Amino acid sequence: MIKCYTLDGEFYKEEICFGNFHEIKNRLKSNSQFISSMPVEAIVLIMNEYSKKLSLNKEALSIEGVPFLSFYLKKNNVKKLIRLNLGNEEYLDNFLEVEEGKYMKAQPRGVVCHWVAGNVATLAIYSAFQGLLCKNANLLRIPKKSIHEVMKLLRLLDNIDVDYKGNVYSSKSLLKNISIIYFDSKDIKLNSSMSLEADARVVWGGKQAVDAITALPKKTTCKDLIFGPKYSFSVFDKSAIESCDIERYLENLVSDIIAFDQKACSSPQVLFIERSCMSLEEIGCKLANSFEKISKRYPNNNIEQYIAAKIINKRGEYGLSLEKTLYSSKGLDFTILIDREVKLEEPVQGRTIFLKEVESIFEVTKLITSKIQCIGVASKDKEKILKFADGVTKLGVDRVTQIGFMNFYDFPWDGSLVLSELVRWCSLNIKGMIS
């Protein structure tokens, strides 16, 4: 059974149920006319007003990641993202002449089906809004545990009107092109039916979920965007460690660690420190002080039982070892695990970071695979970081970013310019036809 929470721009207090996707698909396809006729600038203006509503709503701001989401959807940022992805936002509205007699336009793919992971509630909004920017209809399967927060955020998109060139455009046109649904993830029949409705599939999740969904039947014309399991870590070089900014760098690292309770693929799990005049233990002590300060403002109150058990086991392992060191809070607010084995550790989460020393940050290149999403860096040496970034991205890393920005959703993401994948690039060639 398909439980539907929003359709035709309406929100349901009690979900309505469907046995198949026929009605949902037909309504989405019918509603696509509302968004296809809208200038992209009007869509951007609506998103900008939505960002304002998010930033002023205390209940929404209490949801992890919403403060950055409100910044992300601001007009200037969205327009920058469109230019980066498509070159010119006018491609979304008109055929543009690219050479004499040849024109191009970015047409929507149609119905974009999103399978959204449950680790970050705002992920559903990012995913849907990318589809909307490209004027697609969007069908999103949301995990049951995320539906309440997703609906809370989406309701703020209602009742927004903007004026563009003398015409009024309503956010209802966007909401009519979003349908939020839930069904059991193990239901192969419904997953297959949803997949066959897709002109593009956007899949977020772990390996098991990604493998299962990508194996489903689909249209031969369907485009896939897969955002599977990834791993992230951080590096500090000698110039950063020995600088007067070391405390600021560590505080920025802690902000990356506590975001999303380290459940995001972009959350750092290990910090590699380049050998300097400061020992690992000294860095560990400073990092503990940074955790103490931030934990007073953002205590770790919602730790899950199985994560708590993993933290306690790791603390026991490191506390009893003569070759390992441990810094931690009295409770489970944070844990710093220090050893000298240069490897990527299995994530513990719950504000647990592994701290290791390397002779050079370039030593971590031997650890790089295509599963590494993001490396957070702290350095005063721009040329060194450019060389480092070139080396690790050649080996498979998608993003290298300054500490404090690891969890900021940006383009490219996982090696893709997402908007450019959610359109069909169409051409018109009439050279010589019209004199």
Domain range annotation of the chain:
2-228+414-429, 231-402
pLDDT tens digits along 370-384: 999 999 999 999 999
pLDDT-derived band at 299, boundaries 50, 70, 90: confident
pLDDT of amino acid 414: 77
pLDDT of amino acid 48: 97
pLDDT of amino acid 355: 97
Would you say residue 289 has pLDDT above 90? yes
pLDDT-derived band at 190, boundaries 50, 70, 90: very high
232 compared with 302, residue with greater pLDDT: 232
Average pLDDT, integer, range 67-87: 93
Would you say residue 108 has pLDDT above 80? yes
Comparing CA positions, the residue from 150, 142, 144 lying closest to residue 125 is 150
Average pLDDT, integer, range 96-109: 94
- Extract the tokens encoding 410: 């940006």
Distance CA 353, CA 257 (A): 8
pLDDT tens digits along 120-172: 889 999 999 999 999 999 999 999 989 999 999 999 999 999 999 999 999 99
Task: Pick the range with the lowest mean pLDDT from 158-162, 303-307, 390-394.
Answer: 303-307
pLDDT of amino acid 229: 86
pLDDT tens digits along 5-15: 999 999 998 89
Question: Domain 231-402 sits in which CATH superfamily?
Answer: Aldehyde Dehydrogenase; Chain A, domain 2 (3.40.309.10)
Would you say residue 266 has pLDDT above 60? yes
CATH no. of 2-228+414-429: 3.40.605.10
Average pLDDT, integer, range 172-186: 95
Distance CA 253, CA 385 (A): 17
pLDDT-derived band at 434, boundaries 50, 70, 90: low
pLDDT-derived band at 65, boundaries 50, 70, 90: confident
pLDDT of amino acid 300: 80
pTM: 0.87
Would you say residue 279 has pLDDT above 70? yes
Q: Return mean pLDDT, the chain.
A: 93
Count of CB atoms within 10 A of residue 193's CB? 18
Distance from chain centroid for Cα 150: 15
Would you say residue 304 has pLDDT above 90? no
Average pLDDT, integer, range 326-342: 94
Would you say residue 435 has pLDDT above 60? no
